[in-house]
Structure 1
């Protein structure tokens, strides 16, 4: 099984549809789970929190809802892909040739003890999911340039990957690839 996180920033251009086509073309022989970033929906949460100064718990829940909105948008763009909202649902139904889009549920993340913080974004949630399934590989697809020899720590310092990612990455036994949209 492969978990592929498609960054929310990919939705600001035609890169999202190109990446979806790549999933359909290049990963058909694998069971694939797509993790959507929050995109513009999460950007709105960040702006609202700055303006209204509400707490991290509320912002976290709203950011997860942003991922759910992106999951629904992905499903509309790829009607053959399946939508799943829990680890158990994915584990039972994932199969080669049919991508599954994860629409994370706040209650499942709460039961798992996921921190309600901007330190945990869809990147960390993708690593958490990959460890729970268990996946053989996690691929993070970003709109940012990714140098070939960059470390996780350098990507965190550049705010390309969230601060909690390393913790969730260590909890799984999967290979990790971080790719720019052009490399995917």
Structure 2
């Protein structure tokens, strides 16, 4: 069983990241861990407002922010393997952390826009690896019974997410970090 788990970058600010990584380690099956961009992506947004550079540059910088978080995850959990390309996943370890490759995402036609964040990229990855499940872990409050469109309108998930999971062959869940931490 392959589960893609996206840990929101805000978990770093909420100081819940180490506990969430421990939960990932205990989670059943093989895990592909997708980091949010967190404070690194926030800096990209601020710089774009200040300097007015285009969305293509901002998108690429935000992907690099995800890479920075992947390095942070790997530093906290050295046993978690790092990978940057779907093509490089030959033998799936228990937990692997994705540091997305900009060129691979460009080749896949991922539109450079703030409408597509690590949420949608996690959904794209889940589809590419034919995952069984996608789990988004958020630091904000999440109504687990809400439709994805309601979570989208509420700003819990990004604008592009619903289209990325439409027709997906995997189960999708969006949960709050406290709920995730209660999973044994």
Stretches of structure 1 lacking an aligned partner (at least 5 in a row): none
| CA pair 55-142 structure 1, distance change in 2 beyond 3 A | same
Q: How does 1:126-141 map to 2 (within 5 A)?
A: 126-141=122-137
Shift, 1:171, TM fit: 5.1
Q: How many Å separate the matches in 2 of 1:105 and 1:70?
A: 14
Q: How does 1:150-161 map to 2 (within 5 A)?
A: 150-161=146-157
112-121 or 165-174: which moved more?
A: 165-174
Residue by residue, what CA displacement relative to the aligned partner does 1:116-142 show, whole Å, maximum 9, x if unpaired?
A: 000100000000000000100000000
Corresponding position of 2:30? 31
Matched residues, number: 179
Q: How many Å separate the matches in 2 of 1:171 and 1:134?
A: 12
Does the CA-based 8 Å contact 1:132-1:172 persist in structure 2?
no
Does 2:119 align with 1:120?
A: no
Q: TM-score, normalised by structure 1?
A: 0.94
Runs (4+) of structure 1 exceeding 3 A deviation are none
Residue by residue, what CA displacement relative to the aligned partner does 1:78-119 show, whole Å, maximum 9, x if unpaired?
A: 0000000001112x1213xx2000000100000000000001
Corresponding position of 1:12? 13
7-16 or 111-120: which moved more?
A: 7-16
Q: How many Å separate the matches in 1 of 2:143 and 2:34?
A: 23
Stretches of structure 2 lacking an aligned partner (at least 5 in a row): none
Shift, 1:75, TM fit: 0.3
Does the CA-based 8 Å contact 2:34-2:122 persist in structure 1?
yes
Corresponding position of 2:40? 41
